[in-house]
Each structure stands twice: as C-alpha cells, then as structure tokens.
Amino acid sequence: FGKIRASWARVGNDAPPYFVDPVFRQAAHTDGFGFFTFPTSTGVNAYQAGAFIGNSDLKPEMTSEYELGVDLRFLNNRIAFDLAYYDKKIDDLIWASPIASTSGNLFQMQNLGTMQNYGFEVLVKVVPVQKARFEWEMTFNYTRNFNKLVSLNNKLEKAELNALRIDGGQQIQWVAIPGEPVGVFEARGPRYSPQGKLLVNNQGLPIANTELRPYGTSQYDYFGGFTNTFTFFGFSLRAHFDFRMGGIMYSRTKDITLWAGTVPETLYNNREPFIIPNSVYEVGRDENGQAIYAENTIPIDRVKLNEYWANGGIEMDGASFIDKSFIKLREISFGYSISRTKAGFLPVENLYLGITAKNSWLWTPEDQTYIDPELTTFGNDLGADFGEYGAQPSVKSISFNMKIDF
C-alpha cells in the first residue's frame, strides 16, 4: 500500500521562570577548599544577584512547522520506504546571551532572532530472508538537515552565543550570523605573508592574527542509523549503529593534552628543535613601508617547544576544534526467548534471557583521537553544540536482561 501525509503545526515556548525580572538567589561561598550555601548552621542567611539580569521585553518563541511525506510498503511489508520533507521555523528564538560584565551580571535571556531548519528524512526497511525459523531484517534511516539563521533581532550583524578567553591568550567565539548556520566558530589563527607563508617571531614561534576568522560550524551535515536484526530458533541478535558526519566542536581535552605533550602531534621531530616549514619572518620595511620577509632559519628550541604546543602549534587557537564526525555501535544484544506453547514445563507464558552491550565501539576521523564527540559540558539544548570543557569519558555498559510474561 501507499500513503501520503501532510501536517502543519504552530506552538509557543516560554523561557524558564524568573528570567523576566531580576531575582536574588541563595548565596554561596567558597574559600578554595570547601563550599557551602547559606543559611549557615547558626541561622545566618544571605542572598546574591544571579548570573542573569532580567528582561521585561522577553517574548515567547513561536515555532511553525510543516511536513510532507510518503509511506510505501511492498511484498507484504518485506520492503518499506518512508520519505519526508520538513520545514521548521522558530521566531523570536530565546537564548541566554552573554552581556558586558560591567552590568553586574553575565547573561540575559533575549529573543535572538529567527532560525530555520529544513531537510528530508529517509527510512528504508528490508527483510531479505523470511523463513519459518530464520529471519533477517535491515533498517536504515538518514536525515539531511539544513540549518540557517534567517535574521537577528535589532538588526544586529552578529550575536555572540558563547566565548572562551583563557589566561588572556586563547580567544574563541561561537556566533550567530544571518544567512549562516547557527553556531559558527571564530578564533585567532596565525598570520601569513602576502605570499601565503607563515609568519614567525624572533623565537621562531607563529604570530597570532589580531582578528578572529571563521573555522566552521557546529551543525552536522547529515546523520542516521543502521540496524540489523537476526532471529533464529528462538534466538535473536540485534546490532544498531549510529552515524553523524560534519561539524566541529571546541575541545578543552585537546587543549590540555597538547599542553601536557601526551598526544602524538607533540612527538614531531622526536621532540628535537625544528624550523617550522614554509615560514618567514619580518626583517624590515622598504621605502614604501611594505614589510620585507626572509626565510625562517630560527629553530624552536626545547625550551619553547612546550609553549609552541600549548598554544596549538601552527593552528594556534584553531587547534582547539575537533571534527564531530563519528560512527558508533550504539547497541548490540543477544537473547533467547521461549514460550509455554513450545515448552510445556514452563510455569510462565514466556521467558526471555539476554545480554546487551551499549557504546561498545566508536569510530572517529584519524586526526580526532581525543574524546567522544557526543560529550558536552554546556547543557542539553542548542548550547551543547559548543563542545566540552574537561568532560568525563563516555560510558560503556553491559547488562543482563530477563523478562517474564505471566
């Protein structure tokens, strides 16, 4: 059979409570060794201003979405095909925007602008083998999503979503720019000569550009999954893979391992002094004030090697980004099911025994050996796409299951 479907919806979403007016929260104190929240055991109480300043002009965000789809089934459901196109637009997107610390606060809930997601989803299900005592079922799903910030409120050209400025050195911004996907990473890269050669200082180290440049977006290009299920003589074997491709994220773990020298990159030249390839340094100016460059002959000595890698090597601040692409064996399970109709001695209607392993295998690009790219320390909403700041390793688990039907 075949079905055609269409749907349209418009829903509203409000900000969390206590963000319209400024509020005080229970104060907390730390002396560097301990941490406690007021009131104290003696009854002394205290309150302090929160990180958020109120916004009396905050409006609910409104989401409009429509979807068109087709569902086709063939050969008694042994072949199924589902295709859908969707278009989702969010007006007055609510976002915790960073504000100047001189205000006495750090963030304010604001209506950022209009964001659009559109794309298509494909689901294919095939049963290649279907016998009395053996069946093989395959399922594949694929989503191609296109994300775009349509406009910013107040006619802004750019809005800062998040930023990191570490020790007065590293500078990273995560911004929203109209016409671009939401979440563009910007960072300081190295400076280059007009001839495209890397500029170094008098110690042979790269010189940082004073301006931020875009490095990529946090949005995935496409994602999906693949499942194989085998059933035979009461046994079942199921394996489910997830994949997500494209996009970058910030990784403090990569920062730290470069600084500590515990990753393969820092073994370059066996940690002996070396001259950065294809690099030059400024030796003066001509009569027109144009810089004159000479080929770099200054090796990075052993003392400066740590500084070189701690600052990201040639990529500098941009070295903090990693590819988010991955393929993961999300779940694999094996079990056996037996019913009373097949085994009259059973005191129950059905008994199932099984074992399940989750997150047992992960593939990432060759140059991304630092962390599971699904990890984040920046919340569970859109902000989670920023990345991780010292996230804990992902968890693998094995469980044993028993299900009884009476």
Q: What is the dihedral of CA 373, 377, 381, 382, to 10 degrees?
A: -60
* pLDDT top residue among 50 and 132: 132
Cβ neighbours for 98, distance < 8 A, ≥ 6 positions apart = 106, 107, 160, 162, 163
pLDDT band at 222 (very low <50, low <70, confident <90, very high): very high
Evaluate if residue 134 carries a pLDDT over 70: yes
pLDDT tens-digit readout, 304-321: 888 888 888 888 888 889
DSSP string, 11-33: EEEPPPSS-SS--EEE-EEE-SS
Buried b (16+ CB within 10 A) or exposed e, 325-348: bbbbbbbbbebebeeeeeeeeeee
Q: At what angle do helices 252-260 and 302-310 cross, to 10 degrees?
A: 180
pLDDT band of residue 121 (cuts 50, 70, 90) is very high
Rg for the chain, CA atoms, rounded: 28
Q: What confidence tier does 215 reach under pLDDT thresholds 50, 70, 90?
A: very high
| Burial of residue 273, with CB atoms counted within 10 A of its CB: 0-12 exposed, 13-18 middle, 19 or more buried | middle
pLDDT of residue 344: 66
Residues in the chain: 406
Digit-coded pLDDT (tens) for 353-379: 999 999 999 999 998 999 999 999 887
Q: What is the average pLDDT across 174-179? A: 92
pLDDT at 357: 97
Q: What is the pLDDT of residue 122?
A: 97
Per-residue confidence band for 26, with pLDDT thresholds at 50, 70 and 90? confident
The chain-wide mean pLDDT, for the chain, equals: 89
CA 279, CA 125: separation in Å to the nearest integer? 54
Predicted confidence band of residue 157 (pLDDT cuts 50, 70, 90): confident
| pTM assigned to the model | 0.82
Lowest mean pLDDT among 25-39, 215-229, 268-282, 359-373: 25-39
Task: Compute the average pLDDT of residues 26-55.
Answer: 78
pLDDT of 269 over the 70 cut: yes
In this prediction, residue 42 has a pLDDT band, given cuts at 50, 70 and 90, of: confident
Both structure tokens of 313: 């090597």
| Helices (H), ranges, 234-357 | 252-260, 302-310
Residue 96 has pLDDT above 90, yes or no: no
Q: H or E segment at 299?
A: none
Contact 121, 141 (CB under 8 A): yes
% the chain with pLDDT above 90: 51
